[in-house]
Chain A
Amino acid sequence: MSPTHRRELKKGSAELLILSLVEVRARHGYEIGKLIEQRSGGTITFSAAALYPLLYRLEKRGWIDGKWVEQAGQRRRRYYKLTPGGRRVLGEQRIAWRAFAAAINHIAGTEEA
């Protein structure tokens, strides 16, 4: 996959990835970035420069909600969790993504016969 392709795909799916990761519990930015990297087997990575603007954008839309948490001996961390609005969007995006992926697979003929 060329870097350009990867970037386009990332952009389209990044929201879905982040929303999915904060669905069950609140996570901080580094954890989110690490989980995406690990679970995609290293295919998808986000640098801080790319990740945080995305988080802020989702927060502005009211889909996730960030809260500062103080921890002894460390800098405070910002934890993000899914809002009720974000939960609805996540549901919609999941459905859309499955339909989209199924359609692509179907057309591109990569579906196993």
Chain B
Amino acid sequence: MDDWLPEIRKRLAGADLDPAREVEIAQELAQHLDDRYAEMRALGADEDVARSAALAELNDDARMQRELALAERLESTVLPAGDPGRPPFLRGVWQDVRYAARMLRRNPGFTTLAVLTLALGVGATTVVYAIIDNVLFRPVPYEHIDRLVRVFEIDPDQPGRLISASYPNLQDWRARSRSFDAMGVYRSRSLILLDGEPERITAATVTPGFLDAAGAEPALGRSLSEADSISGARRVVMISHGAWLRRFGGDPNVVGRTVRTVDGPYEIVGVLAPIRMFAGSLDFWMPFEPSTAMKAFRGSRSLWVLARLRSGVTLEQARGEMDGIAAALAQEHPENRGWRVTVMPMQEYTVLGVRQPLYIFFAAVACILLIACANVAGLLVARGAARSGELAIRSFLGASRGRIVRQLVTESVVLAVAGGSLGALLAWWTIPQLVPLFPLDLPAERISVDVRVLAIAVAASCLTGMLFGIVPALGLSRAGSAGVLKSQGRATAGWGRRLGGGLIVAEVALSLVLLAGAGLMVRTLTALYAVDPGIDVAGRVALRATPLLPKEAAPARAQEFYRQLVERVAAMPGVHAAAAIDTPPFGGSILFSMAIPDGVKAPVGVSPRAVTPGYFDAMGIDLQAGRDISAADATTTGKVVVVDALAASQLWPGRNPLGRHLRFKQGEGASEPYEVIGVVADVRHVSLDGESWPGLYHPVTQRPAAHMTVVARAADPEAIGRQFPGALAGLPERALVRPPQLFAGLVDATIAERRNRAILLGVLAAMGVGLAALGVFCLTTYAVAQRTKEIGVRIALGADGPRVLRTIVGSQVTPIALGVGLGILGSWWATRVLSTYLFGVGPTDPVTFAAVAVIIAVVGPIACYIPARRVLRVDPVNALRAE
């Protein structure tokens, strides 16, 4: 046998076949020649004769080339007939699907681009939809979730805020209401365990009603009772099921054992059966003991109230009853004047903080999906130009317009299902990695892409397929049925250009809305970074150590502990200054008191802090007037206080505060007077964007604190943090050391959520703009291809290339400009939903809008210009000969 391939390839050369296809055809022909050769040899021919006979099969190669080229370019002008056994409609659909799949396989470049674009859009949408579906639409897996409610008070001055309950009000609600099986209080507290290595944990303190409402039953021993809450009673604790297994090895005799804590021993009275609330994160459950102040003040509202509706009682009935009780209490107690009560289903409460952001992210990914659809519609239009000949022939052969539209839409749906499936797969695959990156507190363990989410993703893909397929299909079919075989291609030009323009408008507008949202978030971040925290964060580190002291012994001994600790830290090499404060800035908590300035009746809410001398220097807080707190301000001298500028302006507006006195409200009376000795700059104690409270600084010697944080200024604060545990050796008390924190990091953490949201919106906006630019690029490529002949004529008539280029780019700039206009209008409306997440910038900030418009106005024309440059290479002779 011979190697026919070189000869065959030579003869196929003129057919201009797809290289892969040419290889296939050559192989098939080679086999044919093999057969012919073998047959001739079998008939007795010698090798040369057999070889000539075989090669003779390829005579008339010019015709073969022509016929092959025709056959290969044939886009099946006749639709395949289906299996006659199926009903005609289904038969048609199946045919269409198979035909569509064939068409798509034959255009791998187009298909890949379209499928990837759609996969991106569907994938992003599926991820956010999966989160929404799992978090918002499905019941939280708590026991009795349909009957669990939270009860809040509503301040007449701030009707939009949910306020915790006060203890006396709770007691009255429990006594007077009939709608609930149980109602109780939850509060967390920290506890230092002394069994083994000292360990700080978060424990739950609850009233028995809370456990009843949550459906928490004892698995061993007994539950907490009302009697346990009475102060002075024996101290008891229930342990969670997880803690029983983890900490006590599942010991069946655990009831009666003692848990040693810094505050003394607690007796274990029971083990809770597993409950889902708090996801098993709380190991110790103790009786809630209201403080004297809590019991005394109806206006002190700080309790987290959970209740369970009585079986058969509706939410409306419970609300009605509580409205009545609240109205009666408002009459009876002046602290309750105007206050109302609201009952909120637990299910709704658990998603309170995530519902709106999730909908915003969903809207953003929906924009991406729409842009992706517009892109694919654009690709279909562009490819439609290449297919108009085929469609015209088909219509000429008798296919109805409806039939052709159906075929084209089927192609889009096949495309959409392919892209959608890939996108859903991507979502399913990446969601475990993506959920933790989401700037929201989400129950990650509950979020997955399951069959229901997949089904919706695929259904949505089909729908989008029809959406982006129908318009190009209608246009193409019209061009096809116009039957203009001789000017095929140009028939699609008019509507194609109009549709292309429309798609550009839509893509530009949608991407601008996304970009405007991201821009506002970026402006918010810039505004936050510009906020002066009041402290100098550079080189500042928070060093935290808690002496293991029982509550009652703590203040006096802790004071000595911290005095010595500050001295040691200050003596560490590389430390420039050190001091201590009870509630450090950005540490997550502040205290409140009511201060009564002398000469003024009305008290002012202030945030008091206890500090050691040198605190302002250590933190870089400016002393604006008066003097600093000194070591001499000990217990024996008169009580002194340093106020910050905000406190000064609120306590004594327009007057010099130095030398003035203030007292603190204590029950019905007031404390002894405190003399103002200095004024310091304001410090943002909670967060950069939060409310500022008037701040007061006391010498810790005059306001004892059990727990303090040592703050240090050092050249290398991280090294100091690492060496800190060593500084504790030999101090009078054992202490629990917590990880050091740089103030730069603490400040940053308060804006982390906003920054992550800005990053997410930014990424989505970048995707949107990228897709839109790709869309403009493709549609411009198409427009140039459409107008090659016209361009040829112009150039032949003497127009210069650059001018034609300007015309082409100019014709695309009109829809871009329209899109920018529409996008700004859309943003004007859409960015309002962001307003609660913005800081220092309005939802319709003109600077942001102008900036994003400029970005689009630069990116858009560049995306036109690159493909439009091709006009410079148009050869008028070839262009005119093209048809």
Contact = CB atoms under 8 A, between A and B. Distances in A.
A28 B31 contact: yes
Main secondary structure of the interface of A (DSSP, over half): helix
A21 B27 CA distance: 22
A78 B35 CA distance: 13
A109 B71 CA distance: 38
B19 to A, nearest CB: 16
Interface string A44-72: 00011110111011001111000000000
Contacts of B59: 47, 49
Interface string A25-57: 000111001000000000000011110111011
Contact of B84 (A47, A86, A88): A88
A63 B61 CA distance: 26
B80 A85 contact: yes
A84 B81 CA distance: 7
Interface string B73-100: 0111111111110000000000100110
A83 B74 CA distance: 18
B116 interface: no
Interface string A74-97: 111110000111101100000000
Given A28-B31, A49-B60, A50-B60, A56 B81 contact: no
Contacts of A77: 28, 31
Contacts of A53: 64, 67-68, 70-71
A84 B84 contact: yes
Given A48-B57, A53-B70, A57-B74, A84 B83 contact: yes
A65 to B, nearest CB: 10
A58 to B, nearest CB: 9
A47 B34 CA distance: 14
Contacts of B61: 49
B122 interface: no
Contacts of A30: 31-32, 35-36
Nearest to A57: B71
B56 A75 contact: no
B25 interface: yes
Contacts of B99: 62
Given A50-B60, A88-B84, A29 B32 contact: yes
Contact of B56 (A28, A47, A60, A89): A47
B58 A78 contact: no
B411 to A, nearest CB: 15
B63 interface: yes
B81 A89 contact: yes
A85 B29 contact: no
A29 B77 CA distance: 23
Contacts of B95: 85
Given A30-B36, A84-B81, A62 B76 contact: yes
Interface in B540-592: none
B571 to A, nearest CB: 85
Contacts of A57: 67, 70-71, 74
A75 B27 contact: yes
Interface residues of B, number: 39
A21 B95 CA distance: 24
Contact of A29 (B28, B70, B78): B28
Given A85-B95, A88-B84, A48 B60 contact: no
Nearest to A88: B81
Contacts of A29: 28, 31-32
A48 B71 contact: no
B672 interface: no
Interface in B618-667: none
B76 A48 contact: no
A85 B64 contact: no
Contacts of A74: 31, 34
B199 interface: no
B791 interface: no
B7 to A, nearest CB: 12
Interface in B711-746: none
Nearest to B4: A75
Contacts of A86: 81
Contact of B76 (A49, A60, A83): A60
Contacts of A33: 32
A41 B864 CA distance: 64
B72 A56 contact: yes
Contacts of B80: 61-63, 83, 85
Nearest to B55: A48
Nearest to B31: A75
A70 to B, nearest CB: 12
A108 to B, nearest CB: 30
B578 to A, nearest CB: 81
Interface centre among A33, A78, A85 (most CB of B within 10 A): A85
A30 to B, nearest CB: 4
Given A56-B68, A57-B71, A62-B99, A76 B27 contact: yes
Given A60-B76, A84-B81, A85-B81, A47 B57 contact: yes
A52 to B, nearest CB: 6
A47 B11 CA distance: 14
Contact of B29 (A52, A76, A89): A52
A52 B79 CA distance: 21
B33 interface: yes
B170 interface: no
A79 to B, nearest CB: 11
B71 A60 contact: yes
A51 B75 CA distance: 19
B60 A84 contact: no
A47 to B, nearest CB: 5
Interface in B25-71: 25, 27-36, 56-61, 63-64, 67-68, 70-71
B224 to A, nearest CB: 75
Contacts of B33: 48
Interface centre among B32, B33, B35, B77 (most CB of A within 10 A): B32
A74 B31 CA distance: 8
A56 B22 CA distance: 12
Contacts of B76: 60-62
A28 B99 CA distance: 24
Interface of A: 28-30, 33, 47-50, 52-54, 56-57, 60-63, 74-78, 83-86, 88-89
Interface of B: 25, 27-36, 56-61, 63-64, 67-68, 70-72, 74-84, 95, 98-99, 102
5 contacts: A49-B58, A52-B29, A53-B71, A54-B71, A56-B71
Closest 9 CB pairs of A and B: A62-B80, A53-B67, A85-B81, A49-B64, A48-B57, A85-B80, A30-B35, A88-B81, A56-B71
